[in-house]
Every structure is written in structure tokens, then in C-alpha cells.
């Protein structure tokens, strides 16, 4: 989900290493994290990125750095889909997110979704 955010997991971890807890806590990336654990599997150092992102979410809420009524639309749609259906349908989630951005760049989003579908990344 790093492509959706200005920050990446690496940048958030680096901010934490530099002692910039508030900046890392205000980053939108923890809210874009899909908790899929791919980053944990791929990390050569074995860093628990998921645990860090979840902790940043909690700390951001506790400290008031993040307002829950302004959480990113992708996260809202993701959460609603899981609550209603108990699973994620990537194609529908992508379409919902792309249409929410309308009229900014839905065509680019639809092209990306089509490419992902062709590669078998969506079902």
C-alpha cells in the first residue's frame, strides 16, 4: 500500500530511529497499511513493521495527532468491507477508492486495476 502514501514503511521506521515519534505518528502510512504482513516477510532484518504501524495508530489516536473522523478513505472502505462481508474483494475496493477520488484521476486508477487484473492479482 506504500504507493498510496507519501511515506513508505522505510521512511516511517527511519523517522522513529531519529526520534521523530510525532512526525511518524502523523504520517498517513499507518492508516494505509493493509496489515497483510508482506513487509514482515520481505524485510531482511525481520522488523515487525505491522506491529509498529498498529502501535503508531494507537499512539496517534491517544496523543490526538490523528483525528478519527479524517481517516483516509481507503482505510474506511477497507474496514467497512471487512465488517460487512468478512473479506476483501480487491477489485471492488479499488473501484470504490478510485471513484471516491473522482474527478481527480479515476482513469489512472482504472488502468492500474486493469493491469493488476490481467496479471491475476485481483479475483
Indicate if the pLDDT at residue 19 is higher than 90. yes
Q: Between 108 and 42, whose confidence is greater?
A: 42
Residue 113's pLDDT band (cuts 50, 70, 90): confident
* CA distance linking residue 13 with residue 93, whole number of Å: 27
pLDDT reading at 18 higher than 90: yes
pLDDT at 104 > cutoff 70: no
Q: What is the mean pLDDT of residues 36-48?
A: 85
Separation in Å, CA 95 to CA 60, 82, 89, 114: 29, 16, 10, 11
Q: How far is CA 103 from CA 18, 21, 25, 34, in A?
A: 38, 35, 30, 25
Instruction: Report yes or no: 52 and 62 within 8 Å, Cβ to Cβ.
Output: no
Whether residue 87 is predicted with pLDDT greater than 70 in this model: the reply is yes
Amino acid at each position: 500500500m506504500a504507493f498510496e502514501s507519501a511515506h513508505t514503511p522505510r521512511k516511517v521506521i527511519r523517522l522513529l530511529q531519529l526520534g521523530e515519534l510525532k512526525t511518524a505518528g502523523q504520517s498517513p502510512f499507518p492508516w494505509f497499511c493493509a496489515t497483510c504482513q508482506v513487509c514482515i516477510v520481505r524485510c531482511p532484518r525481520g522488523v515487525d513493521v505491522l506491529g509498529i504501524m498498529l502501535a503508531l495508530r494507537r499512539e496517534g489516536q491517544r496523543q490526538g495527532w490523528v483525528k478519527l473522523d479524517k481517516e483516509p478513505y481507503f482505510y474506511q472502505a477497507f474496514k467497512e468491507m471487512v465488517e460487512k462481508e468478512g473479506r476483501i474483494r480487491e477489485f471492488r475496493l479499488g473501484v470504490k477508492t478510485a471513484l471516491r477520488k473522482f474527478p481527480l484521476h479515476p482513469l489512472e486508477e482504472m488502468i492500474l486495476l486493469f493491469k493488476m487484473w490481467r496479471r491475476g492479482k485481483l479475483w
